[in-house]
Structure 1
Amino acid sequence: MDRQSTPDPSSAPSSALNVVAVVGLGTMGTGIAEVLARAGRQVVGIDISAAAAERAAAALDASTARAVRRERITEAERAEILARFRTSTELAAAAEADLVIEVVPEDYATKHEVFTALDAVVRPDTVLATGTNALSVTRLAADSARPERVLGLHFFNPAPAMKLVEVVSSVLTAPAAVTAVTELARELGKEPVAVGDRPGFVADGLLFGYLNQAAAMYESKYATREDIDAAMRLGCGLPMGPLALLDLIGVDTARTVLEAMYAASGDRLHAPAPILGQLSEAGLTGRKAGRGFYTYAAPGSTEVVPDAETPGDAHELSAGRTVRSVGVAGSGTMASGIAEVFAKAGFTVVLAARTQEKADTAKARIAKSLQRSVTKGRMTAEAREETLARITPAGSLDAFAEVDLAVEAVAEDLAVKQQLFQTLDKVCKPGAVLATTTSSLPVIACARATSRPQDVIGMHFFNPAPAMKLVEVVRTVLTGDDVHATVRAVCAAVRKHPVDCGDRAGFIVNALLFPYLNNAVKMVQEHYASLDDIDAAMKLGGGYPMGPFELLDVVGLDVSLAIEKVLHREFREPGLAPAPLLEHLVAAGCLGRKTGRGFREYAKA
């Protein structure tokens, strides 16, 4: 827990909030107390459980000892930090606090009881902050004796490491209280984001909708828990998969947050997936219980152990077909990247475009990519030449006559793809596997354009194909078992991670990613938060590599809108309807980085 960039512990605090009481010494409360003590505050940790208070003191002792061993603080500084922290089992110990931060269980009656008791204890000018992420800050304020001094202060777990703090104002909150707490957050080395009072605020408001959809996807048996989690880690660069994250957060906690979000929004996408209720009622609440979506070595353990749902190594696949040569149809970035992937893995590759010139240009693009690898020391010049020698550019699909696997990577237009598959059906030899890289169109529509739908499958690579490890393997109801086995084996041969999914809109990644992006647009559209605050919240609070608006501008707003429309049309869910703001920007030609303007403006190249 000593990884955070901590302010100099010897420096005197500059804000007025020098004495802080933390009520509730669970994992979050203990972490917040540590952050405060390290930053020079006098901290009173309060918990009705003497054992919890002892654990909090022991945790700070251990954390500061590690920091000394790693030469991040001195022994003298450690002694000062420990001296600034004391514990109590009585709320009366908060009497002299300038700020009280409540982090008791997420139950309104419990929090209200704490605030009522504090009203009788603290000074009139003391700021009272709740750590809730789901309950109404406004209601807590209105029910207190000093509503103008009540606000939300939402840290993220683990508090010492996570940079984001959401500062939540109600309509009753005095601006001076918000200013004081915001200054404190900055002095703690955190990034405060100002938000209004609604369940989930910014980060959890976006995160929990996504987690809920992942739970529903798993419950419907569309994909395994392992494949859902791997898809989001490898396809989006997220630090954890959604089901593993639900286990970490607590299935019961997620259910509570979603119930509050649904009560406020009425959006069915926020209604907790039934499996969250079933697991909660059974006491299978995640890591803390030793079992949730996964099974753990013991309650509180991080070690996942095999259970009845754990897949075997062989995935019980049937025998596949032999693949030595691969045809890649297309001349764009994705087609070039896929051709590079296969050639580097030792396959003979035919790269076919509409003209020989386009095919030659695509091969030249691969040559430049390989040269960058040579320059960076990732491959030898000899390996580069051998790889290029395996790629034959062609100006016609007739060159696919002898390939074992044909992969199309042409425009995301169903009519174009169907016409191409009709051609592949004519030119490819019997037994060749025919694959589409579509990210949103029905694979079965491509399969039905051929006389051999059993040979057709989806292989959704992610951009840039040479770098991204994920491939979504999409079976239709007509795909042969041996074709599925073949493609999984090919993925292993090119060192990609395959995840299995059925032929429905968005597959795994886009079906979970784009509703999240759409909800971020709705937040801006409703003037709830700014682009910068939302992007910062998801990067700092959720560990996302890019904020939603950064990602939308990179993907392209037109591409994003098209995918949103496909999802809405397939699932008929009102909450999936594209945000009007997204439609308006696309209509105005503001498509993101490629046009110089999307949600933000960009310098022209």
Structure 2
Amino acid sequence: MGAGIAIVAARGGYETLCFDMSDEALKRQRGSAEKFFGKSVEKGRMSQDDADATLARMTDTTDLNDLAECDLIIEAIFEDLDVKKELFGKLNGICKDETIFASNTSTLSITEIAGGSGRDDRVVGMHFCLPAQVMKLIEMSRGINTSDETFQTAWAWTEACKQIPVETQDKPGFILNALLVPFNNDVIRAIEAGLCTPEDIDIAIKSGLGYKMGPCTLLDLIGLDTQVRLGEAFYPITLDKRAAVPPLCRRMVAAGKLGNKSGQGLLTGLTSEKASEAPGFTVVSANESRSFPEGMDRGVANGDVTIHLGGGYVEDTSKTAVLVELDTECLGVHTGEDMGREGSNAVGFARYRNGNDAPSNLIELVRQPNTTPEALAAARAVFEVAGFDVVVCADQPGRIVDRLVRPKYNDALRFLDEGLATAEDMDKTCCMGLGYPDGPIERVTRGGLARHYDMSAAIQAATGDIAYHPARRAYVAKQREGAA
């Protein structure tokens, strides 16, 4: 991260001192910068002269005293409050009085970091997104004692470097990690709970929500050891159980399975080959269908698979598979349950849909403990041959997508109430920092806050998990719906 920030500064026209205690780290950083600018020249994004001039503005040092005349110092140390405070304390005795200290912390309090600096009014939060030299967004936050002059000077610096700043309060995780760290932990807990495979989580999130990168791919990229450190920094401040490190994450780190950096992580690379032909099916409509509001091909008479749209399950052991459309309920509501022994040719399904948006291309299939492999294969084939992205999950509340996104939407709505940031800045942060096609506020609002209430309340009723308790704005929307 520090190497990327140095590139941003030098590219912005500033003389840049790159400090590290390790000569080897500085050599790696220099090599990375040369490679980055080399590719920029190849792609026509800058001339060779500009690349050479930018590299010439970057000077390496292992001597902290060399930073004495810097106007702005940005630290990018790992998330350890004491280490950050110690560094700023040392720099306070080295640097000129006007020097601004900025922290790239993603979870820690700027006010607390500033407490060890000796210049609380000249400390500001500047959280860059990874990789800093590519991602334009910077989360800017003030400590309690940060002066307006300091904040505005740092803000102007980011704009001069052609970055895009957003203002957020000095609260744990700011915007990006306040939403991302618990969400990533939820993903790991879903895998641990046997909901589905990591591969299916990535398919579901990318297909259903349009994310460029699945959460398991992201976790493997940043490293499960990094997720542990984020949780350990985040949880003691918030006491939010979703921020606590999941046991599976700790076990994988202990086993050396850190993600891309170790060669093994959450993703196994195992995926099912898509079906090329499907069995004949018959469609039976019981009620209005959310998955196929305009109906679907009626199939053939007396097909080997029966598809019940709008619920209305009827047991039929003569079929290879009986598919029943689900809404907020579990498959067991239709089939009954038998203490973990349940399962037959019945398969639940739902086509993910955000409120009244057009249904997505994602089909979530729901299995019970002893669902027959033949039924599952037949159900998968029916939808895959029709061109859908298909994932399989256990019969747990919310299936994959709603189980993972509803707590995040509740957080975003709560943050809006608390004044963490504006709705526009929260959405901008997620879109620019994480590559989302739309932000959480825009998406949950477009999908309908009353619908969010229904989904969240149904999952909370089944699980008792407070994370699904509908946010105030969703509760108000539901009351207004009832009064209309």
Counterpart CA distance in 2 for 1:192 and 1:262 is: 26
CA distances 1:296-353 after superposition (whole Å, capped 9, x unpaired): xxxxxxxxxx5xxx467599xxxxx9722441636667425662xxxxxxxxx32xxx
Decide whether the 8 Å contact of 2:80 with 2:233 is kept in 1: no
Moved more, 462-471 or 520-529: 462-471
Displacement of 1:466 in angstroms is 9.2
Displacement of 1:37 in angstroms is 1.2
- Match of 1:189, SS? coil
CA distances 1:477-516 after superposition (whole Å, capped 9, x unpaired): 4643321121122233223232111111101111001111
Match among 147, 151, 158 for residue 131 of structure 2? 158
Map 1:131-280; keep pairs closer than 5 Å.
131-280=104-253
Opposite residue 154 of structure 2, the aligned amino acid is V
Opposite residue 539 of structure 1, the aligned amino acid is C
Decide whether the 8 Å contact of 2:456 with 2:470 is kept in 1: yes
Decide whether the 8 Å contact of 1:134 with 1:256 is kept in 2: no
Decide whether the 8 Å contact of 1:96 with 1:122 is kept in 2: yes
Counterpart CA distance in 1 for 2:149 and 2:168 is: 16
Moved more, 159-168 or 505-514: 159-168
> TM-score with structure 2 length normalisation?
0.90
Opposite residue 327 of structure 1, the aligned amino acid is V
Displacement of 1:555 in angstroms is 1.3
Opposite residue 402 of structure 1, the aligned amino acid is N
Q: Determine the structure 2 residue equivalent to 1:120.
A: 93
The 3 A distance-change label for structure 1 pair 186 and 478 is same
Decide whether the 8 Å contact of 1:208 with 1:258 is kept in 2: yes
Q: Determine the structure 1 residue equivalent to 2:374.
A: 482
The 3 A distance-change label for structure 1 pair 194 and 328 is farther
Match status 1:577 vs 2:469:
yes
Q: Determine the structure 2 residue equivalent to 1:459.
A: 349
The 3 A distance-change label for structure 1 pair 406 and 421 is same
Q: Determine the structure 1 residue equivalent to 2:280.
A: 324
Match status 1:434 vs 2:334:
no
> TM-score with structure 1 length normalisation?
0.73
The 3 A distance-change label for structure 1 pair 175 and 281 is farther
The 3 A distance-change label for structure 1 pair 553 and 123 is same
Decide whether the 8 Å contact of 1:557 with 1:590 is kept in 2: no
Decide whether the 8 Å contact of 1:461 with 1:472 is kept in 2: yes
Counterpart CA distance in 2 for 1:166 and 1:160 is: 15
- Match of 2:168, SS? strand
Match among 493, 508, 511 for residue 403 of structure 2? 511
Match among 284, 292, 309 for residue 335 of structure 1? 292
Counterpart CA distance in 2 for 1:248 and 1:335 is: 36
Displacement of 1:459 in angstroms is 1.8
Counterpart CA distance in 1 for 2:272 and 2:467 is: 37
Counterpart CA distance in 1 for 2:343 and 2:81 is: 56
The 3 A distance-change label for structure 1 pair 220 and 421 is closer
Counterpart CA distance in 2 for 1:477 and 1:328 is: 25
The 3 A distance-change label for structure 1 pair 158 and 172 is same
The 3 A distance-change label for structure 1 pair 60 and 517 is same
- Match of 1:152, SS? strand
Match status 1:566 vs 2:466:
no
Q: Determine the structure 1 residue equivalent to 2:302.
A: 402
Q: Determine the structure 2 residue equivalent to 1:446.
A: 334
Decide whether the 8 Å contact of 1:436 with 1:459 is kept in 2: yes
Counterpart CA distance in 2 for 1:159 and 1:143 is: 26
Counterpart CA distance in 1 for 2:80 and 2:72 is: 21
Q: Determine the structure 2 residue equivalent to 1:588.
A: 480
Opposite residue 11 of structure 2, the aligned amino acid is R
Q: Determine the structure 2 residue equivalent to 1:79.
A: 52
Q: Determine the structure 1 residue equivalent to 2:447.
A: 555
Q: Determine the structure 2 residue equivalent to 1:473.
A: 365
Decide whether the 8 Å contact of 2:308 with 2:323 is kept in 1: yes
Match among 525, 529, 533 for residue 417 of structure 2? 525
The 3 A distance-change label for structure 1 pair 583 and 65 is same
CA root-mean-square deviation: 2.8
Gaps of 5+ in 1: 1-27, 296-305, 316-320, 340-348, 351-390, 392-399, 411-416, 596-605
Match status 1:49 vs 2:17:
no
CA distances 1:21-43 after superposition (whole Å, capped 9, x unpaired): xxxxxxx1111111111111111
Counterpart CA distance in 1 for 2:383 and 2:126 is: 46
Opposite residue 566 of structure 1, the aligned amino acid is A
- Match of 2:261, SS? helix
The 3 A distance-change label for structure 1 pair 429 and 107 is closer
Displacement of 1:287 in angstroms is 1.8
Counterpart CA distance in 2 for 1:186 and 1:277 is: 39
- Match of 1:582, SS? helix
The 3 A distance-change label for structure 1 pair 466 and 570 is closer
Displacement of 1:548 in angstroms is 0.6
Displacement of 1:564 in angstroms is 0.4
Opposite residue 492 of structure 1, the aligned amino acid is E
The 3 A distance-change label for structure 1 pair 187 and 576 is same
Gaps of 5+ in 2: none
CA distances 1:461-480 after superposition (whole Å, capped 9, x unpaired): 23499984422110134643
The 3 A distance-change label for structure 1 pair 477 and 284 is closer
Opposite residue 406 of structure 1, the aligned amino acid is T
Counterpart CA distance in 2 for 1:187 and 1:337 is: 52
Decide whether the 8 Å contact of 2:174 with 2:420 is kept in 1: no
Opposite residue 456 of structure 1, the aligned amino acid is A
Q: Determine the structure 2 residue equivalent to 1:598.
A: none
Opposite residue 545 of structure 1, the aligned amino acid is P
- Match of 1:421, SS? coil
The 3 A distance-change label for structure 1 pair 122 and 476 is same
Displacement of 1:405 in angstroms is 3.2
CA distances 1:342-376 after superposition (whole Å, capped 9, x unpaired): xxxxxxx32xxxxxxxxxxxxxxxxxxxxxxxxxx
Counterpart CA distance in 1 for 2:72 and 2:327 is: 50
Q: How many positions carry a matched residue from both structures?
A: 476
The 3 A distance-change label for structure 1 pair 311 and 173 is same
Decide whether the 8 Å contact of 1:41 with 1:84 is kept in 2: yes
Opposite residue 442 of structure 1, the aligned amino acid is C
Decide whether the 8 Å contact of 2:70 with 2:99 is kept in 1: yes
Moved more, 254-263 or 561-570: 254-263
Decide whether the 8 Å contact of 1:45 with 1:53 is kept in 2: yes
Match status 1:545 vs 2:427:
no
Counterpart CA distance in 2 for 1:328 and 1:58 is: 63
